[in-house]
A and B are shown apart, each in its own frame.
Chain A
Amino acid sequence: MIWFLARKNLRRAASRTVLLIAGVTVAGALLFDMSMLSGGLERSFGSALGRLGYDVRVVLRGTLPLSTDALMPDAQTVARRVAAHPGVVLASPVLATNLYVEGPAGRLAAVTLGLRPEVRGIIHLESGRDTVEGLVLNRELAQRIGVSMGDTVQLSSRIDPQTGRPGRTSTARVLAIGDFAFDLRAQRTVAMPLADLQHLLGLDGNPASFVVVKTRPGVDPESVVRRIVAEFPSLDAFSIAGLLHQVRQQLRYFEHFSTILTGISLLVAFLLIGAVLTLSVGERLGELAALRAVGLSRPRAVLLVLLEGVVLSAVSTPLALAVGGIISRPLDAILRATPGIPQDLHFFVMSPEAVVRTVLLLMITGTLGAAHPAWIAGRLNIAATLHQEVQ
């Protein structure tokens, strides 16, 4: 009966109920967006790292795992020794630097990766291949310097500040044009075989920026991390979880931002439901007193009003999820347009956790919002209310 009455009561002032649902929907949409934002970048980053299939990254101790100019000496030997671990499938050094790349339309600086052919997944070529056996440019760079596949470009490690001419140079044919994982917006990137890059830079001793490691299925990456750290005291190793921990530390302000806005949206939903239901209960005190007189118990009267709050939340929740999902796209686009954000990363990431969190918080808020009017209904003095209603 309570369920029946709760639904009927909400349909009674249909326009007010619709406006209330609209208000709670908007607040809920913001709540959902904040739930997506709170861990979105971390989830997106973790997902992108996971897609590459390299669970562990080895860097020089004391350097940042995601951004370093320091070089690890004899990285080839390090990679070979790491690859010898029973839990490791592959370990390969990666050299990251900047080069000047000159084509018919000009000369531009580009992020350059030196990779061994066995390192796959970082580049997606138009041909569908993902390995580097020659010079690969990303679309942005190819377009800006006016080259296409088969063209020759000039690579140089530095420009003489006096003459403006490139220093050590090398000429190479563009083997492929493709997309690079973790490219920033408008970033120019080039990849080439590791040995060629080391040679161009004049680096001896097989140095690299870091070593990527792929573990066997079922092997805990943390155990590999521990073994590497124990074996190479001068190196640090990070699993994806470890990297995400670093990201989480660096992006804590997003969490704070979303927590504050989550609180505001919950407060708005709470106040909306509380205010409207308090008004509604105030308007039907006589009916509630009569219902109590004909046999509705006090707990059931309380439950009736609480249920109205829950119904309001339940109706608003799917709408809030839909609206929040729609709004998150332009918001994500705005944030991704920030310089320095890899194109593969997203700030607003839809996840089961975000959906469950939103649903639970909205239902709890609806129930809490109805608590005060429910208390009024429960505390109602039947005789006094009936008496007042006929005055």
Chain B
Amino acid sequence: MTVPVVELRDGARTYQFDGTPVAALRGVTMQVQAGEFVAIVGPSGSGKSTLLHLMGGVDLPTSGEVLLFGDVTHRLRDVALTATRLRRLGFIFQRFFLLPMLTAEENIIIPMLEAGVAPAERTRRVAELLEYVRLTHRRRHVPGQLSGGEMQRVAIARALANRPSLLLADEPTGELDQESGSEIGRLLQRVHHEGVAVVVVTHNAEIASLADRTLVLRDGRLA
């Protein structure tokens, strides 16, 4: 039996607001298998982003466990968790979070630089990734010169830079028009078909329809 790429065991996350505990996620148990495409849907404030952050190891559960590639996240040291994110995970954000002073190719190179990929290999992979997201002609452009859809495609290329096994996308079409959103959906599907597990938090029915499985969150619980 293969180890799930990510697994929650009764995972819960409670935040403190002015001393008052607010439960964002209440006892969620789920698994994502390698190569699976999972969509997480639900109303605003239902805990979708919190769930994604726990799955990506950028947040830790207040109770229960999150296992990332078989490792319990809250037992890992920050350095180990960071290394896992760098080499085995890809993140896509609603607001892209590209570095505005870097060109498209420089933004894509960042995770490779951090992972110590050799210069020749970096150059080859950047060219491949730009081709993959069909932005070769825009490689020297900074984010301010790109459209929303193009920025998200650069962000997807950045997320794939270190060849992750798991891609986590938080509302990747939230800031895009329908046409750009559809293109992002097709790209995510292509990534999934190439064997990468994809978990996408979305309000977009079209994106959700591409997934193997859709999980619905309400009030911090899986419906």
Contact = CB atoms under 8 A, between A and B. Distances in A.
A247 to B, nearest CB: 54
B50 interface: yes
Contacts of B79: 297-299
B100 A12 contact: yes
Interface stretch (A166-174, A288-296, A338-346): A288-296
Contacts of A286: 95, 97
B110 A1 contact: yes
Interface in A294-317: 294-300
B180 interface: no
Nearest to B94: A390
B82 A298 contact: yes
A69 interface: no
B139 interface: no
Interface residues of A, number: 27
A390 B87 CA distance: 25
Given A390-B94, A390-B95, A390-B171, A295 B83 contact: yes
A300 B53 contact: no
A292 B82 contact: yes
Contacts of A4: 113
A287 B110 contact: no
Given A1-B113, A295-B85, A295-B114, A287 B50 contact: no
Nearest to B113: A1
A294 B170 CA distance: 13
Contacts of B91: 290, 293-294
A5 B101 CA distance: 9
Contacts of A165: none
Interface string A338-367: 000000000000000000000000000000
Interface in A358-391: 382-383, 386-387, 389-390
A9 interface: yes
A386 B110 contact: no
Contact of A12 (B86, B101, B111): B101
B159 A294 contact: yes
Interface centre among B59, B97, B158 (most CB of A within 10 A): B97
B49 interface: yes
A11 B83 CA distance: 29
Interface string B186-201: 0000000000000000
Given A294-B158, A383-B58, A386-B53, 17 more contacts: A1-B113, A8-B101, A12-B101, A291-B110, A294-B85, A294-B91, A294-B159, A295-B111, A297-B78, A297-B79, A298-B79, A299-B79, A382-B53, A382-B58, A383-B53, A387-B50, A389-B95
Interface of A: 1, 4-5, 8-9, 11-12, 286-287, 289-300, 382-383, 386-387, 389-390
